[in-house]
C-alpha cells in the first residue's frame, strides 16, 4: 500500500501546546513542561493521519490526555534511566512515542505488524522530527533476534494488543530473551489471567499487579501488570 504524501496539518485537527498543557492541568496530570510541545506536535500529526487511516479513537485533547498521556505517565515511574524499551503493537504510536517524548533518556523502539500502520507511524515520526525506530512485523520475531547483548530489550510495553492468553502464547516461550513485560490492562485483567492459566500459558512466568489508576470515562480501573520469567 502506498501512503498519501505528507501535508500541512488540517487546522481543525491541530492542538496547541498551551491547550494541551491546560488539559493536563485540568485532569491533574503532571507533565514536564519541556515535553508538552512534542506531545502537541505528535497529537496534531496523529489526528491528521487518522483522517486518512484509522489509527486512534482519541481525537480530542480531553481523550488524548486522559487515555494516552495518562497511560504513558503511569509507565514512567517503572522505567529505569536509559532502559531499552520496545512498544509491542504500537498502533498509532501509543504508548511508545509518548514515552520517547516524556523520557528522552529511554531507548524506545516501536513494532507494528500491520504494514500500513507502521508506515504511517514512520511518517508521523519523521514529520515530528523524532528519531524513534519502528519495525514492521511481529514483535516476537524482533525479540527473538536479540536474546542477549547490548540490543536486548529491557522492557516490552504493551497496551490494547491482545488478551493475556494470546500475549503469553507469543512471549512466554521467549521469557528469557527480554527483561520483562509491562502490560496495561482494564478491569477484566484477573479474568484474562485465569483464562491464560487455564490454557497453561503462564507456567514459566510470574505476573503481578504493580500499579492501578482510574479508567478515564468509565467505571473501574486500569492496571499495570509486570510479567517476568519465573
pLDDT band with cut points at 50, 70 and 90 for residue 15: confident
Q: Set out the domains of the chain in order of their start, with CATH numbers.
A: 68-229 (3.40.50.150)
Query: What pLDDT was estimated at residue 53?
Result: 86
Long-range contacts of 141-144 (CB under 8 A, 24+ apart): 142/86, 142/111, 143/86, 143/171, 143/174, 143/177, 143/178, 144/174, 144/177
In this prediction, residue 2 has a pLDDT band, given cuts at 50, 70 and 90, of very low
- Phi, psi angles (nearest 5°) of residue 107: -100, 85
pLDDT band at residue 215 under the 50/70/90 scheme: confident
| Mean pLDDT, the chain, integer | 93
Can you tell me the mean pLDDT for 60-85? 96
pLDDT of residue 4: 45
Predicted local confidence at residue 216, as pLDDT: 74
Helix axes 17-26, 36-50, angle to 10 degrees: 100
Asked if residue 6 has pLDDT above 70, the reply is: no
pLDDT of 61 strictly over 50: yes
Residue 112 pLDDT greater than 80, yes or no:
yes
Beta bridge partners of 226: 182, 208
**Which residues 6+ apart lie within 8 Å of 187 measured at CB?**
215, 219, 220, 221
Q: Span 199-223, mean pLDDT?
A: 90
pLDDT of 131-173, one tens digit each? Answer: 999 999 999 999 999 999 999 999 999 998 999 999 999 999 9
pLDDT score, position 1: 40
pTM: 0.92
- Helix residue ranges per DSSP H, 145-210: 164-171, 189-198
Within its chain, how far is the Cα of 155 from the centroid? 12
Banded model confidence at residue 220, pLDDT cuts 50, 70, 90: confident
In which band, very low, low, confident or very high, does the pLDDT at 10 lie, cut at 50, 70 and 90? Answer: low
Amino acid at each position: 500500500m502506498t501512503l498519501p504524501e505528507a501535508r500541512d496539518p488540517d487546522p481543525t485537527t491541530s492542538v496547541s501546546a498551551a491547550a494541551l498543557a491546560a488539559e493536563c492541568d485540568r485532569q491533574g496530570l503532571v507533565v514536564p513542561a519541556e515535553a508538552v510541545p512534542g506531545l502537541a506536535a505528535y497529537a496534531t500529526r496523529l489526528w491528521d493521519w487518522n483522517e486518512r487511516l484509522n489509527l486512534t479513537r482519541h481525537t480530542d485533547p480531553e481523550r488524548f490526555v486522559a487515555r494516552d498521556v495518562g497511560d504513558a505517565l503511569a509507565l514512567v515511574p517503572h522505567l529505569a534511566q536509559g532502559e531499552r524499551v520496545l512498544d509491542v503493537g504500537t498502533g498509532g504510536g501509543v504508548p511508545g512515542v509518548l514515552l520517547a517524548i516524556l523520557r528522552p533518556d529511554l531507548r524506545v523502539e516501536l513494532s507494528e505488524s500491520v504494514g500500513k500502520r507502521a508506515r504511517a507511524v514512520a511518517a508521523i515520526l519523521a514529520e515530528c522530527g523524532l528519531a524513534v525506530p519502528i519495525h514492521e512485523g511481529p514483535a516476537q520475531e524482533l525479540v527473538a533476534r536479540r536474546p542477549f547483548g547490548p540490543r536486548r530489550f529491557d522492557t516490552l510495553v504493551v497496551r490494547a494488543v491482545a488478551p493475556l492468553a494470546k500475549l503469553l502464547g507469543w512471549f512466554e516461550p521467549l521469557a528469557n530473551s527480554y527483561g520483562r513485560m509491562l502490560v496495561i490492562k482494564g478491569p477484566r485483567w484477573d479474568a484474562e489471567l485465569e483464562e491464560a492459566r487455564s490454557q497453561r500459558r503462564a507456567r514459566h512466568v510470574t505476573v503481578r499487579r504493580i500499579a492501578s489508576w482510574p479508567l478515564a470515562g468509565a467505571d473501574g480501573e486500569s492496571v499495570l501488570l509486570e510479567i517476568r520469567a519465573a
